[in-house]
Amino acid sequence: MIPEPKVVNTIINGDSKQILVSERDSLLEALRDRIGMTGAKEGCNNGNCGACAVIMDGRLVNSCCVMAAEVEGSEIMTVEGLASRDELHPLQTEFLDNAALQCGICTPGFLMSSYALLQENPNPTEEETRFWLAGNLCRCTGYDKIIESVLTVAKG
Amino acid sequence: MVATGKPQYKIIGTRPRRPDGVDKVTGRAQYGADIKLEGLLYGAVLRSPHAHALIKSIDTSKAEALDGVHAVITNADLVGSGQTVQPATAEALEPGKASPRWAAESILAGPKVLYHGHAVAAVAADDVHIAQDALELIDVEYEILPHVVDVQDAMLDGAPILHPQLRTGVRAAGVDTRSDIETNLASHMRLESGDIEKGFAAADLTIEREFTSSQFHQGYIEPQNATAFWSHDGRINIWTSTQGSFMARDATADVLGVPVAQVKVIPMEIGGGFGGKIPIYLEPMAAVLSKKSSRPVKMWMDREAVFQATGPTASSYSKVKIGVTNDGTITAAECLFAMGAGGYPGSPVGAGVMCALAPYKIDNQVIDGLDVVLNTPKTSAYRAPGAPATEYAVESVMDEIAEQLDMDPIDLRLVNVAEEGVKNSSGTPWPKIGAKDVLEAMKSHPHYLSEIQGEDVGRGIAIGFWFNGGMESSSSARVNKDGSIALILGSVDIGGSRASISMQLAETLGVTYEQIAPQVTDTDSVGYTAVTGGSRTTFAGGWVVYELGQMIKAEMISRASKIWDISGDEITYSDEGTVVGPDDAEGNKRAFSFNELASKLQATGGLIAVSASSSHTTQGAAYGGHIVDLKVDRDTGKTEILRYTAIQDVGTAIHPDYVEGQIQGGIAQGVGMALNEEYYYDSDGHLMNGSFLDYRVPVANDLPMLDVEMVEVPNPGHPFGVRGVGEVPIVPPQPTIRNAIYDAIGVRFYHTPMSPRRVLDELL
């Protein structure tokens, strides 16, 4: 009845990882429940809220909608990999200094989506930023301070 | 000690980083679902597919036999031997006095399921997939009953009855003395003053309108969760995301029938609540699954369960009649508000009634409130609970009055605005309030003074009110040998209260914000603290740390008195945190900085440790006024917000960034209520849109930047003038947007949300 566990080889935030997963695990479940990386959050488990956003082989994905078995050989970046050893990423610093979070549960997803946006479009307009981040739900802030923070980082 | 005038603060009004910020931007903050324990099992819940049904039988044997399943429970397991079953008398239905049996049946259904998604059984297994497999093996035999999900339908004679034992004598058309009649009307309240007949007789214009609103969900991004371990010694530890760890502890103990001291709640970081994380849902289930399996059990809801089974706000029916003279003076108001409580009594109609007319001076008024049970999830608080629906109705009628009198809508409100000394609907005179200040700031705001142009473009305004404040909070503080201070808080921090409370302690003591290390602790480690909600946390938390600060100051003076060998009466504690005595015999200055004196504490009697609990009945009554410009698309029915300004009396803005953030967040939620959020039920009473895709809260590209102007009228009932901020801004958006849509397309709406479909229905 219980499916055989399976080993998945992947690179997470630059470190090689072997994860023992159930065939039914999503990438989000593999990260959170199998290797204890709880930075990515579960808000909906069906790709609506973006709280579980990570970057997989350079692409922004909702990790709840990726099967763990699919990441064999892939490179994953999570919120835990955003800061360097010595300092926070500018997005993290700006979110902190501009009060772009209240409860903070959506913050890891917004940071990863914003990071992906700036990789693809280093100088987004407000409208482009709002459309890019429309897949990330925040119920606390009304989005103002998040949008401002991303635009501030983009301007350098 | 109360605030007078506008003092100069050093810390208050600055914008420091929050103490929990780095953990939250690096993914290290531990929210409820992030907890890991050795031997952890995962729970899942079987929910009712019916809106209203008798449970004839439940067979869990096949689920129990599944490999990897460790425990299965139903209501029979939840209601322990210590649980007394109380009959549901009218007295037991008082708010806050809900019958323990109903509390347990709300957690796991008893003889009946009362709404689609009502929990019926729960499983703990090695992983969540196995737990979900097990749910499919539970056989439940239901006898489906007629259901009712609409608040007006539920009040009709002959409506399906949820609780046959509910015989309150309350009738929709007034209170009936025949208390033997089955009803869905759980309670009635009335506020009355003056003589409304005389008042309406004096009116030149009287407008009466009826309004309805749909159910809205709080929509916090983190689903409810609870992890419990019931030890062999009877101790129950619960890790959960809750707005009130003490309330969660007490409610869990009540449902389980165990002594309160046996339960410890360890509050985890909380991913939003807005009132929805005040009730308990999973805590008792996780505890009993843990007892049965002798293992810790973690549970969290999927998003559909959050929508189906956790408290949305009440749907509402309102009737508002207001009479005015030709100069706009209100002569009388008569209101009826009915709110759907969901499966068990307890809608927020009482608070809604008290808020409805709060912005105005009205000598002759009657307000009735009805609490109605119906086959939807039990409602819970949602940001200014009750107020958005009642004030929406009143502010909509006010807009129609202004139009008929050809008055500026702000002027109409200024004619009637409540001020200090005016009695509110409960008969209590207002203390110093900022309603007039807000209206005047609106009138002179560049947004209001600007021209609007364009086809199908309109502008609207409305104001809103919420009480704020009050209730019990506790904290303790320890001064360390270097002057740093460990601050232990009972209030869970849902959006920056560690910062706002630490700032108030730093201000009290004249020390830096950075030397205070705040921490939210468990229910065994600090005094009783009420929920983080009602916009009370920064208010009440500030009161407590102000009192802690006075205790620390007194102790610092006493230590200096020992060291200098002089009377404490000769020593003062300066605003800079310096302890100063008179010059010594040689004319040398006597002074210690806070940190210098801290280094001498161990030698003079030990480090300082103080605790305080404080319960202030004063409130921080506050008003906000909103202005919107919007455009209605006649082809799609979609309303686009072009410009939005909120002006609010915030008392004193402790951390202005988070004050702005609260107001912006409240606006966004209110815009959702106004334009598209709504529960859809099918004809069988099934919730049809239990996902974020289909419920659809506002997303980033639905909104423009939201402009906030803070008016600061310090609260005379608080040492730093705090009023509380978060609730007020959700109140005005619905009427503000309704009034603007009328300005844009000439259509008055009497229902929220004014979704694209409803707008099209009116236009086509």
Give the chain B residue whose CA is nearest to the CA of A98: B657
Contact (CB<8Å) B701/A103:
no
CA angle B355, B327, B647 (to 5 degrees): 45
Question: What value does the mean pLDDT take over residues B523-552?
Answer: 96
A133/B contact by beta carbon, under 8 A: yes
Residue B2's pLDDT band (cuts 50, 70, 90): very low
- The pLDDT score that the predictor gives to residue B3 is 47
Calpha distance B539→B620 (Å, rounded): 8
What pLDDT score was predicted for residue B96? Answer: 40
Could you report the per-residue pLDDT of B590-625, keeping only the tens digit for each?
Answer: 999 999 999 999 999 999 999 999 988 778 899 999
Quote the pLDDT of residue A48. Answer: 97
CA distance A71 to chain B (A): 20
CATH 1.10.340.30 at A90-155, yes or no: no
Distant-in-sequence, close-in-space partners of B451: CB < 8 Å, separation ≥ 6: none
Beta carbons of B697 and A24 less than 8 Å apart = no
Q: Do domains B33-146+218-309 and B316-468+621-763 have the same CATH topology?
A: no
- The residue among B18, B122, B9 whose CA lies nearest residue B64 is B122
A131-135, B166-170, B259-263, B304-308: least confidently modelled range: B166-170
Cα Rg of chain B (Å, integer) = 27
Mean pLDDT across B390-394 = 98
pLDDT of residue B78: 85
Domain B21-28+470-615 has CATH 3.40.50.970: no
Q: What pLDDT was estimated at residue B80? A: 58
- Please compute the mean of the pLDDT values over residues B509-532 and round it to a whole number: 97
CA–CA distance, A85 with A69 (Å, rounded to integer): 30
The nearest CA of chain B is from the CA of A73 a distance in Å of: 24
CB contact under 8 A, A1 and B67: yes
Give the DSSP per-residue string, B23-78: HHHTT---BGGG---TT-EEEEEEE-SSSSEEEEEEE-HHHHHSTTEEEEEEHHHH
Among the residue ranges A60-74, A112-126, B32-46, B95-109, the one predicted with the least confidence is B95-109
Instruction: Give yes or no for A20 touching B (CB within 8 A).
Output: no
Interface residue B689 vs chain A (CB under 8 A): no
Cα separation, A149 vs B235, whole angstroms? 46
Q: How far apart are the first and last CA of chain A?
A: 55
What whole-number distance in Å separates Cα of residue B432 and Cα of residue B727?
A: 19
Nearest-CA residue of chain B relative to A51? B221
- Nearest CB among A29, A49, A96 relative to B17 is that of A96
| Residues in B touching A46 (Cβ below 8 Å) | 303, 691, 693
B658 contacts on A by Cβ (under 8 Å) = 99, 102
B-chain CB neighbours of A64 within 8 Å are none
Looking at residue B85, its pLDDT comes to 39
Highest mean pLDDT, choosing among B177-191, B608-622, B730-744: B730-744
Q: What is the pLDDT of residue B5?
A: 53
| Contact (CB<8Å) B270/A103 | yes
* DSSP state, residue B269: B
CATH number of B316-468+621-763: 3.30.365.10
Asked if B657 reaches chain A (Cβ–Cβ under 8 Å), the answer is yes
Interface of B with A in 495-524 (CB under 8 A): 495-496
Q: What is the average per-residue pLDDT within B278-299?
A: 97
Percent helix, strand, coil in chain A, to 5, is: 40, 15, 45
Contacts A88 to B, Cβ<8 Å: 22, 25-26
Which positions in chain A touch B308 (Cβ < 8 Å)? none
pLDDT at B101: 78
Tens-place pLDDT, residues B66-93? 999 999 999 999 865 334 434 344 444 4
What's the gap in Å between the CA of B333 and the closest CA on chain A?
A: 34
- How large is the average pLDDT for residues B33-38? 96
SS3 B639: strand
* A82/B496 Cβ within 8 A: no
Is residue B136 less than 8 Å (CB to CB) from chain A? no
- Of B331-345, B568-582, B609-623, the poorest mean pLDDT is in B609-623
Beta bridge partners, A61, equal A54
Q: How far is B474 from B548, CA to CA, in rounded Å? A: 10
Distance of residue B252 Cα from the nearest chain A Cα, in angstroms: 24
Structure tokens at A88: 């926070």
Q: Indicate the class that CATH gives domain B33-146+218-309.
A: alpha beta
Q: Which of A122-126, B171-175, B712-716 has the lowest average pLDDT? A: B171-175
Instruction: Please give the mean pLDDT across all residues of chain B.
Output: 94
Q: Averaged over B527-543, what is the pLDDT?
A: 94
Q: Does B706 touch chain A (CB under 8 A)?
A: yes
Closest partner residue to B303 (CB to CB) among A37, A46, A136 is A46
* Chain B residues inside the 8 Å CB shell of A22: 127, 129
> For testing the chain A interface, which of B22, B26, B671 should be mutated: the one with the most A CBs within 10 Å?
B26
Sheet holding B53-59, edge to edge: B112-113, B53-59, B139-144
A102 with B274: Cβ contact below 8 A: no
Length of chain B: 764
Judged by CB atoms within 8 Å, which residues 252-291 of B form the interface with A? 269-274
Average pLDDT over residues B533-547: 94
- Contact of A68 with chain B, judged by CB distance below 8 Å, is answered with no
Q: Residue B165: what pLDDT?
A: 83
Using a pLDDT cut of 70, give the percent of chain B over it: 95
Please name the amino acid found at residue B36.
K
Q: SS3 of B487, please?
A: strand
Using DSSP, state whether B580 is helix, strand or coil: strand
Q: What is the DSSP string of B444-468?
A: T-HHHHS---STTEEEEEEEEEE--
- Look at residues B627, B631, B665 and name the one whose alpha carbon lies nearest to residue B646: B627
pLDDT tens column, A49-73: 999 999 999 999 999 999 999 999 9
pLDDT above 70: residue B762: yes
Q: Is the CB of A99 less than 8 angstroms away from the CB of B496?
A: yes
For residue B27, give the chain A residue with the closest CA: A39
Domain coordinates in residue numbering, chain A: 6-81, 90-155
pLDDT tens digits for range B227-272: 999 999 999 999 999 999 999 999 999 999 999 999 999 999 999 9
Min Cα distance B442 → chain A (Å) is: 21
Domain ranges of chain B: 21-28+470-615, 33-146+218-309, 316-468+621-763
C-alpha B264/C-alpha B287 separation (Å) is 11
Q: Do B221 and A88 touch (CB under 8 A)?
A: no
- Among residues 61-80 of chain B, which lie with CB inside 8 Å of chain A? 66-68
pLDDT, residue A130, reads 98
B552's tokens: 């620390």
Closest approach of chain A CAs to the CA of B70, in angstroms? 14
Predicted confidence at residue B173, as pLDDT, reads 60
* pLDDT score of B86: 41
Rg (CA), chain A: 16
Nearest to B25 among A41, A49, A111 (CB): A111
B700 Cβ under 8 Å from any chain A Cβ: yes
Percentage of the residues of chain B whose pLDDT score is greater than 90: 90
pLDDT attached to residue B95: 40
Residues 6 or more apart whose Cβ sits within 8 Å of residue B559: B597, B600, B601, B604, B605
The domain covering A6-81 belongs, at the CATH homologous superfamily level, to: Beta-grasp domain (3.10.20.30)
What is the per-residue pLDDT across B425-470, written as a single tens digit (0 to 9) for each?
999 999 999 999 999 999 999 999 999 999 999 999 999 999 987 8
Alpha-carbon distance of A28 to B502, in angstroms, equals: 35
- For residues B106 and B344, give the distance between their C-alpha atoms in angstroms, rounded to a whole number: 8
Which range is least confidently modeled, B99-108, B131-140, B221-230? B99-108
